[in-house]
Amino acid sequence: NSYEYIQVTEPRPGVAQVTLNRPRALNALCTPLITELNTALAALNASPTISAIVLTGSAKAFAAGADIKEMAPLTFSTAYTTSFIESWSQLTSALKKPLIAAVSGHALGGGCELALMSDILYCTTTANFGQPEIKLGTIPGAGGSQRLTRAVGKSRAMELILTGRSFSGEEAERWGVAARAFPSHEALMEGALATAETIAGYSRVAVQAAKEVVNKSQDLPLRDGVEFERRVFHSLFGSRDQKIGMKAFAEKKKAEWSHE
Ligand code: HXC
């Protein structure tokens, strides 16, 4: 592990775990941490043996936000000319493999936004989500106003972003922000790794296609999205694994994927 602010492990076959590891600042997302995260995710994306990625923090904090001490002295012109925060949008946009965020403790500001960038969000019931930027005289800057609004609807997102109030993991699950909420950090990690392992047991070609078509639903009108899905579905008739999967079903055998 050559990183200062994150750890990368392979706890299950085909599954990578990236752990945010800046405990003294509750995993505040300073620029060097984001750079490391970009580097690690790009490497995992390119790895021929990794099929799914779990992103987590500690039991106390997933991430308490962008680094306020780093942001405090920034001016408009510096932020603008250095495209401050723009590198965050590379974190997940180029990632073809499923990313599961496992959120315990604080997921505030940029931490909440990072969790919202994941493909599947799991949390503990006591996780502490929120967009408190308004309390600092600013607004979400890494997609929170867009992704949270898509996840919970306009009225609720407006209330959360304008008041800065936190919401719990239990609420996140009830509102559909989180796919599942678990009673403890240990149960959360077990659940996240088990889901990642399940996904890693499928054809990587099919998994990548499934992720791609679901993500298109966030950008395309319904007719275009359905048409895009059908085209990708057609294209999978050209994959070896689709033949392997259907043949295995007919022969009542377990599919041995070629990932081709
Ligand atoms: C820098 C942070 C930090 C942050 C915590 N720390 N959050 N440093 N940036 N976002 C540091 C504290 O300064 C402190 O360092 C140490 O972590 C422990 O934090 P405490 O406050 O002592 O812990 P606690 O009392 O348990 O309170 C936890 C907390 C609180 C409620 C999460 O730390 C907090 O409110 N943090 C800020 C949350 C926030 O506003 N996030 C949004 C940031 S704006 P020292 O050195 O004092 O021990 C944002 C904009 C995103 O994210 C826009 C684009 C990405």
Note the pLDDT tens digit of each residue in 146-183.
999 999 999 999 999 999 999 999 999 999 999 999 99
Best mutation site among 26, 116, 160 for ligand 1 pocket (most ligand atoms within 8 Å of CB): 26
Distance separating alpha carbons of residues 205 and 244, to the nearest angstrom: 12
pLDDT at residue number 201: 97
> H helices of 47-143, where?
68-71, 76-81, 88-93, 110-116
Q: Is 36 in the pocket of ligand 1 (CB under 6 A)?
A: no
Task: Name residue 55's beta-bridge partners.
Answer: 18, 101
pLDDT at residue number 3: 97
Sorted by where each begins, the domain ranges of the chain are 6-200, 204-250
Q: Do domains 6-200 and 204-250 have the same CATH topology?
A: no
Residue 23 has pLDDT above 80, yes or no: yes
Higher-confidence residue: 92 or 145? 145
Quick: pLDDT tens for 44-57: 999 999 999 999 99
Task: Name residue 54's beta-bridge partners.
Answer: 17, 100
The closest-lying atom of ligand 1 relative to the alpha carbon of residue 65 is 52
Q: Is 105 in the pocket of ligand 1 (CB under 6 A)?
A: no
Contact between residue 18 and residue 53 where contact means Cβ atoms under 8 Å apart? yes
Which residue CA neighbors atom 25 of ligand 1 most closely? 26
ipTM above 0.90, yes or no: yes
| The CATH number of the domain covering residues in 204-250 | 1.10.12
Q: Is 69 in the pocket of ligand 1 (CB under 6 A)?
A: yes
Residues 6+ apart with CB under 8 A from 179: 120, 121, 122, 173
> How far does the centroid of ligand 1 lie from the alpha carbon of residue 131, in Å?
12
pTM of the model: 0.97
Q: Is 236 in the pocket of ligand 1 (CB under 6 A)?
A: no
Best mutation site among 5, 37, 60, 68 for ligand 1 pocket (most ligand atoms within 8 Å of CB): 68
pLDDT at residue number 25: 98
Residue 215 carries which side chain, given as an amino acid letter? N
pLDDT at residue number 205: 97
Least confident of 83-97, 132-146, 228-242: 83-97
pLDDT at residue number 90: 80
> How far does the centroid of ligand 1 lie from the alpha carbon of residue 26, in Å?
7
pLDDT at residue number 260: 95
Residue 91 has pLDDT above 90, yes or no: no
> How far does the centroid of ligand 1 lie from the alpha carbon of residue 244, in Å?
50
SS3 assignment, position 67: coil
Residue 239: count other Cβ atoms within 10 Å of its Cβ: 17
Q: Is 229 in the pocket of ligand 1 (CB under 6 A)?
A: no
Of the CA atoms within 13 Å of residue 247, those in its CB half-sphere come to 10
pLDDT at residue number 32: 96
Q: Which one is catalytic: 133, 171, 173, 229?
A: 133
Q: Is 112 in the pocket of ligand 1 (CB under 6 A)?
A: no
Percent of the chain at pLDDT above 90?
A: 96
Instruction: List C-alpha distances in Å: 94 to 64, 84, 87, 202.
Output: 24, 19, 11, 21
| The CATH number of the domain covering residues in 6-200 | 3.90.226.10
Q: Which among 42, 122, 34 has a CA at the least distance from the CA of 84?
A: 34
